[in-house]
């Protein structure tokens, strides 16, 4: 049996060079489809990875701890805030666990809303704000201080009454760096509290709906404004997103579920889920089209090859070859060509991915965005193996009809 397989493999390999033009065209189809699938798949995976990490770093963190029923109420309500003692309890649980080494940052935030107007002006705009610890927040997310700043500087944490506002908000109210503004917000008394502040910087997140309303303030300034030491969110950043589920499970097991709600970033980032679902469906549809086109091309090429060799197959049967050898020879010819061309296509795809990434080609802003991003395609072993297996299955499917056809022809002879 081993000798028979060796003979079939040798004959299959030689037969690939009988019609070099057809073999070349079939090989090019496999190579091009492999390159296309690798670039499309890894571009989408890279985009989703950066989108995920961007959502985590800029907004959600990996894990958030909130007061029980916080999301069932007004998200800026002072009623659902965590006390200093509750914050200390959560921090103690993390420090006493084996997951301490996985925690990079432990942040606190206050969410607030209100009206912002320029001193000496009557035009006001509704704002949604985040009160943060500037030093810890920018350490966890350096893009706040460097990448996203459009003008001026981010909060220093040293000068009272600083505000950083979105670029759309600045244009709407005609605000510039060092302008004095008034922030009106409802505090603990239920009456409007007023804070005089100075614009220290203008920021842009590349999303118009965010840039039109966002402001950042120092958490201590907002605590003084509201007359409280409490906070809304405890935000935990981990060293690896893959560790989220383990840390989340541990924190939930240690905290009283009647007092706290604990969320993973994926529970909060509903936009991310929608985007990933949309991209995944488009990717699946695109890959399916490539596979279907490749199946038709290879089926036609293999069929032409076997029909030209009917007399050869008849001779083989006449000299005693069994019925299984001929289909095996056709399959091995396709597999050998597929292996060689798929590996070649993967190599070319990896090279092109690195080359295109190195060019830093600017892409247009996404829908609703205002910032362009460089083209990035990062390949990995998982994608390479998956595409190789897809190509092998595709090639085997392409041999089915030619084998059935040649079997029917033999029955007629």
pLDDT in tens, the chain (413 residues): 566 667 666 766 777 777 788 889 999 999 999 999 999 999 999 988 888 887 787 788 899 999 988 876 655 667 889 999 999 998 888 888 777 777 888 899 999 989 999 988 888 899 999 999 998 888 888 777 776 788 999 998 888 999 999 999 999 999 999 999 999 987 655 667 889 999 999 998 777 778 899 999 999 999 998 888 999 999 999 988 888 998 899 999 999 999 999 999 988 888 788 888 888 999 999 999 999 999 999 999 999 888 887 777 777 667 766 677 778 888 888 998 999 999 999 999 999 999 999 998 887 765 544 556 788 999 999 999 999 999 999 999 999 999 888 777 644 34
Residue 63 inside a domain? The answer is no
**E-assigned strand segments in 147-286:** 149-152, 162-166, 180-186, 192-203, 214-218, 233-238, 260-264
Residue 128 inside a domain? The answer is yes
Domain that holds residue 298: 2-55+273-412
Give the domain-ending residue among 226, 256, 286.
256
Q: Is 330 helix (H, G, I), strand (E, B) or coil?
A: helix
**Residues 227 and 366 both lie in one domain:** no
**Residues 113 and 241 both lie in one domain:** yes
**Residues 150 and 199 both lie in one domain:** yes
- Residue 86: name the closest of 234, 213, 218 by CA: 234
Euclidean distance between CA atoms 58 and 292, whole angstroms: 41
pTM reported for the whole predicted model: 0.78
**Residues 231 and 88 both lie in one domain:** yes
Euclidean distance between CA atoms 219 and 169, whole angstroms: 21
Please give the tally of structural domains in the chain: 2
Residue 335 inside a domain? The answer is yes
**Residues 76 and 51 both lie in one domain:** no
Helix (H) or strand (E) segment spanning residue 117: strand 103-118
With left for phi above 0 and alpha for psi between -120 and 50, is residue 226 left, alpha or beta?
alpha
């Amino acid at each position: 049996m081993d000798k028979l397989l060796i003979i079939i493999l040798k004959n299959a390999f030689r037969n690939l060079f009988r019609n070099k033009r057809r073999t070349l065209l079939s090989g090019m189809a496999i190579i091009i489809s492999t390159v296309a699938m690798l670039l499309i798949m890894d571009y989408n995976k890279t985009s989703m990875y950066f989108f995920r990490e961007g959502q985590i770093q800029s907004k959600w963190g990996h894990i958030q701890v909130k007061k029980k029923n916080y999301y069932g109420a007004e998200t800026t309500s002072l009623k659902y805030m965590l006390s200093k003692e509750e914050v200390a309890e959560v921090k103690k649980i993390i420090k006493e666990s084996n997951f301490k080494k996985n925690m990079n940052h432990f942040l606190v935030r206050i969410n607030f809303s209100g009206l912002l107007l320029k001193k000496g002006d009557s035009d006001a705009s509704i704002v949604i704000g985040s009160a943060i610890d500037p030093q810890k927040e920018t350490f966890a997310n350096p893009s706040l201080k460097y990448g996203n700043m459009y003008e001026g500087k981010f909060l220093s944490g040293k000068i009272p009454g600083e505000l950083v506002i979105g670029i759309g908000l600045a244009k709407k109210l005609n605000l510039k760096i060092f302008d004095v503004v008034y922030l009106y917000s409802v505090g603990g008394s239920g009456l409007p509290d007023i804070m005089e502040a100075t614009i220290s910087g203008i920021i842009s997140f590349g999303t118009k709906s965010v840039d039109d309303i966002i402001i950042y303030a120092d958490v201590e300034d907002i605590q003084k404004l509201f007359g409280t030491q409490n906070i809304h969110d405890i935000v935990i950043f981990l060293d690896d997103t893959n560790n989220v589920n383990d840390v989340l499970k541990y924190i939930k097991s240690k905290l009283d579920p009647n007092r706290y709600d604990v969320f993973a970033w994926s529970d909060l980032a509903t936009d991310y889920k929608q985007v990933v679902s949309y991209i995944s469906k488009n990717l699946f549809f695109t890959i399916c089209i490539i596979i279907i086109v490749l199946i038709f091309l290879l089926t036609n090429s293999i069929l032409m090859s076997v029909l030209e060799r009917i007399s050869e197959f008849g001779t083989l049967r006449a000299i005693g070859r069994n019925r299984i050898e001929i289909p095996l020879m056709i399959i091995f010819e396709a597999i050998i060509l597929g292996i060689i061309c798929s590996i070649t296509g993967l190599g070319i795809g990896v090279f092109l991915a690195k080359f295109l990434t190195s060019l830093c080609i600017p892409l247009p802003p996404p829908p609703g965005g205002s910032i362009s991003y460089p083209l990035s395609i990062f390949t990995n072993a998982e994608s390479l193996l998956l595409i190789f297996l897809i190509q092998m299955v595709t090639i085997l499917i392409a041999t089915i009809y030619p084998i059935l056809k040649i079997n029917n022809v033999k029955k007629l002879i």
